[in-house]
Amino acid sequence: EAGVAQSPRYKIIEKRQSVAFWCNPISGHATLYWYQQILGQGPKLLIQFQNNGVVDDSQLPKDRFSAERLKGVDSTLKIQPAKLEDSAVYLCASSAGSQGRTEAFFGQGTRLTVV
């Protein structure tokens, strides 16, 4: 079974530029998560999708971050404009179940550096 795929693996941008991350979840997984992991901290949930609907985006900085899940499969996370404090690893995860009650499988993450 193929795992969660993310791209790119690394990205360096200047502040105020925009950036987009892509995630392909495990086939058939209804739930998709985007997490932000700052160095030395645990993953922080940004947004959770159930199929193509948003379950929780309470921690998403909506003035600069946006996310969509196309046809309930792939997802993109965008930051525009980026700030220095957005430097982090962005992790995508998917799970077969819903409501945060089943194992989530993680991708390798995208390491973003904002300079």
Partner 1 sequence: GESVGLHLPTLSVQEGDNSIINCAYSNSASDYFIWYKQESGKGPQFIIDIRSNMDKRQGQRVTVLLNKTVKHLSLQIAATQPGDSAVYFCAEGGGSQGNLIFGKGTKLSVKP
Q: Which residues bind partner 1 (CB under 8 A)?
A: 4, 33, 35, 41-45, 48, 55-56, 58, 91, 93, 95, 98-109
Q: Which is nearer to partner 1, 7 or 18 (CB)?
A: 7
Q: Which residues pair with 44 in a beta bridge?
A: 36
Q: How far is the CB of 115 from partner 1 (least distance, A)?
A: 20
Q: How far is the CB of 14 from partner 1 (least distance, A)?
A: 24
Q: Which is nearer to partner 1, 17 or 102 (CB)?
A: 102
Q: Which is nearer to partner 1, 81 or 111 (CB)?
A: 111
| Cα separation, 3 vs 62, whole angstroms | 28
| Cα separation, 19 vs 70, whole angstroms | 18
- For 1-115, strand residue ranges (E) read 5-7, 10-13, 19-24, 31-37, 44-50, 53-56, 65-69, 75-79, 88-95, 105-106, 110-114
| Cα separation, 18 vs 85, whole angstroms | 14
Q: How far is the CB of 51 from partner 1 (least distance, A)?
A: 14
Q: How far is the CB of 61 from partner 1 (least distance, A)?
A: 17
